């Protein structure tokens, strides 16, 4: 298991190089919202403290160095290459059997040690219990939400997946969550480990004041403080609130531990300062709107069933009519893929299915569609056949523009796989300005 491999790595660097993790660790897992919750937590704490903060998150959009940051600045390319070589040599010398993602985790851990960070925020890769990041002894464990994902690895039920997510909870730690599904399991694990559980809705209230796609204005209340802020995606407010609560609890812990005098209270923030934090987040592709000729292209990194359905339902209320370019990675539950396809096609939405470029991750679209047909009734199969078209992998920007222009509708949604979406985004960036709207 990757967790055991990183545990072995930690022993080796301590014994051979006298390098040990001494910084505080916040782990963030969940089905969706992990990345932005990590980034928001980093940015809030950066604003309120003089701490040196490390951040490990995924995915990257343009450069792999985006995944590893200190004080929100990505690791320099030369340092990344140095640590990458060091880890690969260590991996080979000790037969650690680190995978690609595990090597990135090891690079981040070592870089943060060498740079003397005081706090590191790590986004879990998959699940939690056996993930390589879970080798770290976390003080705070954040679980954003739980729905069906990676069912080939984590389990077929919410309960099984919740067990995996709850696996990050350490003895006498702090647990913060925004989930309702699988909550009983999280509560049980918190009690079992003598950890303190915070449920977001009991501490923060949010109220939508207005919406003008893709902008959404909310009032956020915590304790006696209230803030008015605007988000460029409908779901970012939940992630921000989770980061807000996480930051408050971490600051409270710091005061209890050592009474730091240079730590500000959240009440020192005002709506303007919070808006600056929100706007400074360096994570694109969250219901991002791009204009191309007379078309609106909406790109979103929704990838699991729950996130995709939430996205499509939301866009149906905002845009009314659109078509979808869709790509999936391996490990998706066929029954859930069928539900997505039927939900869209019964609303006269045409789907263009394609494969992304990451060979070891991509799903075989023809095989996937055949499996969907095998579990469909004849009327369902007919509806899908009429509205789903398989298109070749999009390898160049010219091919992308041809597909966009071929689609008659003025609104086009591109989603379904992080790898696919980031690749499409970079192709669009080659020729067009794709500012957040």
Q: Of 253, 279, 305, which residue sits at a domain end?
A: 279
DSSP-assigned letter for residue 134:
G
15 SS3 class: helix
- How far from chain centre, in Å, is Cα 202? 24
DSSP string, 329-357: BTT--HHHHHHHHHHHHTTT--EEEE--S
Q: In what order do the strands lie in the sheet with 204-212?
A: 204-212, 215-222, 225-231
Backbone angles phi, psi at 117, to 5 degrees: -70, 155
Q: Which helix (H) or strand (E) holds 365?
A: helix 365-374
Q: Which of 232, 407, 246 is closest to 254 using CA atoms? A: 246
Task: Give every CB contact of residue 78 below 8 A, 6+ residues apart in sequence.
Answer: none
Distance from C-alpha of 52 to C-alpha of 269, rounded to nearest angstrom:
20
Other beta carbons within 10 angstroms of residue 119's beta carbon come to 23
Expressed in angstroms, the distance from the first to the final Cα of the chain is: 41
| Residues 236, 348 within the same domain | no
Whether residue 435 is contained in a domain is answered as: no
199 within a domain of the structure (yes/no): yes
Please tell me whether the peptide bond between 214 and the residue prior to it is cis, using omega within 30 degrees of 0.
yes
**Could you tell me if residue 404 is inside a domain?**
yes
Q: Looking at 279, 297, 316, which one is the last position of a domain?
A: 279
Entry pTM? 0.90
Please indicate, yes or no, if residue 82 is contained in any of the structural domains: yes
Residue 67: domain span: 2-279
Our measurement of the distance from residue 105's CA atom to the centroid of its chain's CA atoms, rounded to an integer in Å, reads 16
Within 10 angstroms of residue 411's Cβ, the number of other Cβ atoms is: 18
pLDDT of residue 59: 84
Q: How far apart are CA 189 and CA 175, in angstroms?
A: 10
> Which strand (E) or helix (H) includes residue 295?
strand 295-299
> Same domain, yes or no, for 373 and 227?
no
How far apart CA 114 and CA 107 sit, in angstroms, is 11
| Strands, sheet with 119-123, edge to edge from the N-terminal-most edge strand | 73-74, 68-70, 53-56, 119-123, 24-29, 140-143, 174-177, 196-199
Sole residue written with tokens 């990675």? 329
Distance between CA atoms of 121 and 140, rounded to whole angstroms? 9
Q: Which residues contact 223 (CB under 8 A, 6 or more apart)?
A: 267
Structural domains in the chain (count): 2
Same domain flag for 181 and 319: no
* pLDDT reported for residue 55: 98
Burial of 435 from C-beta contacts in 10 A (0-12 / 13-18 / 19+): exposed
Residues 196 and 268 in one domain: yes
Query: For position 37, which CATH number holds?
Result: 3.40.1190.10
Q: How far apart are CA 339 and CA 361, in angstroms?
A: 22
Question: How far apart, in whole angstroms, are the C-alpha atoms of residue 353 and residue 363?
Answer: 11
- 236 and 368 in a single domain? The answer is no
The predicted pLDDT at position 116 comes to: 97
Given a cut of 70, the residues of the chain with pLDDT beneath it are 1, 151, 259-262, 359-360, 430-437
Integer CA distances (angstroms), 416 to 16, 46, 325, 332, 420, in order: 44, 32, 8, 11, 7
For residue 421, give both structure tokens: 């979406």
Residue 167 lies in a domain: yes
Q: Which residues of 79-99 are buried (b: 16+ CB within 10 A; e: fewer)?
A: bbeebeeebeebbeeeebebe
Question: Do 255 and 388 belong to one domain?
Answer: no
Is-contact 266 222, C-beta < 8 A? yes
Q: Is 385 helix (H, G, I), strand (E, B) or coil?
A: helix
- The pLDDT of residue 151 is 65
> Residue 420 in contact with residue 356, Cβ under 8 Å?
yes
Residue 260: the pLDDT is 58
Same domain, 251 and 294: no
Do residue 228 and residue 293 come from a single domain? Answer: no
Residues 272 and 294 in one domain: no
Helix (H) or strand (E) holding 323: strand 323-327
Q: Are residues 106 and 209 in the same domain?
A: yes
Joined together, the tokens standing for residue 147 give 């729905």
Residue 434, domain member (yes or no): no
Question: Domain for residue 437, yes or no?
Answer: no
- 313 and 225 in one domain? no
Regarding whether 292 and 155 lie in a shared domain, the answer is: no
* Sign of the alpha-carbon dihedral angle for 15, 19, 23, 29: negative
Question: For the domain that residue 405 is a member of, what is the CATH number?
Answer: 3.90.190.20
- Of 224, 244, 279, which closes a domain? 279
Q: For residue 1, how many other CB atoms are within 10 A of its CB?
A: 12
pLDDT score of 339 = 95
Residue corresponding to tokens 């069912």: 151
Q: Is residue 247 part of a domain?
A: yes
Task: Work out the widest C-alpha separation in the chain, in whole angstroms.
Answer: 69
pLDDT per residue over 345-354, tens digit each?
999 999 999 9
């Amino acid at each position: 298991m990757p967790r055991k491999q990183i545990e072995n790595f930690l022993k080796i660097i301590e014994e051979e190089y006298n390098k040990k993790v001494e910084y505080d660790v916040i782990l963030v897992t969940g089905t969706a919202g992990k990345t932005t919750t990590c980034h928001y937590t980093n940015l809030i704490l950066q604003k309120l403290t003089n701490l040196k903060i490390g951040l490990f998150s995924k995915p990257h959009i343009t450069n792999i160095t985006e995944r590893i940051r200190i004080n929100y600045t990505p690791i320099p390319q030369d340092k990344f290459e140095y640590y990458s070589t060091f880890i690969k040599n260590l991996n080979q010398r000790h037969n650690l059997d680190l995978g690609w993602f595990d090597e990135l985790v090891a690079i981040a851990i070592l870089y943060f040690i060498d740079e003397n960070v005081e706090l590191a925020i790590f986004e879990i890769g998959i699940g939690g219990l056996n993930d390589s990041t879970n080798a770290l002894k976390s003080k705070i464990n954040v679980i954003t939400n739980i729905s069906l994902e990676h069912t080939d690895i984590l389990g077929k039920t919410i309960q099984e997946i919740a067990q995996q997510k709850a696996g990050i909870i350490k003895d006498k730690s702090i647990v913060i969550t925004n989930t309702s599904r699988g909550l009983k399991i999280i509560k049980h694990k918190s009690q079992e480990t003598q950890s303190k559980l915070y449920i977001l809705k009991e501490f923060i209230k949010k109220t939508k004041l207005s919406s003008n796609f893709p902008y959404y204005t909310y009032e956020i209340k915590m304790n006696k403080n209230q803030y008015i802020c605007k988000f460029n995606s409908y779901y970012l407010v939940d992630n921000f609130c989770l980061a807000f609560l996480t930051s408050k609890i971490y600051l409270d812990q710091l005061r209890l531990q050592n009474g730091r005098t240079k730590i500000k209270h959240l009440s020192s923030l005002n709506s303007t300062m919070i808006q600056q934090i929100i706007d400074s987040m360096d994570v694109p592709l969250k219901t991002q709107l791009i204009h191309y000729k007379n078309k609106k292209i909406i790109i979103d990194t929704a990838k699991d069933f729950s996130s995709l359905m939430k996205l499509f339902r939301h866009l149906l209320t905002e845009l009314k009519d659109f078509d979808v370019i869709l790509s999936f990675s391996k490990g998706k539950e066929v029954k859930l893929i069928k539900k997505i396809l039927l939900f869209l096609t019964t609303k006269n939405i045409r789907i263009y299915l394609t494969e992304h470029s990451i060979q070891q991750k991509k799903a075989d679209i023809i095989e996937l569609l055949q499996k969907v047909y095998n579990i469909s009734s004849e009327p369902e199969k007919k509806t899908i056949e009429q509205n789903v078209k398989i298109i070749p992998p999009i390898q160049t920007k010219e091919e992308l523009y041809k597909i966009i222009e071929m689609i008659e509708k003025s609104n086009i949604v591109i989603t379904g796989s992080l790898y696919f979406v980031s690749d499409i985004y970079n192709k669009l960036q080659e020729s067009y300005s794709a500012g957040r709207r």
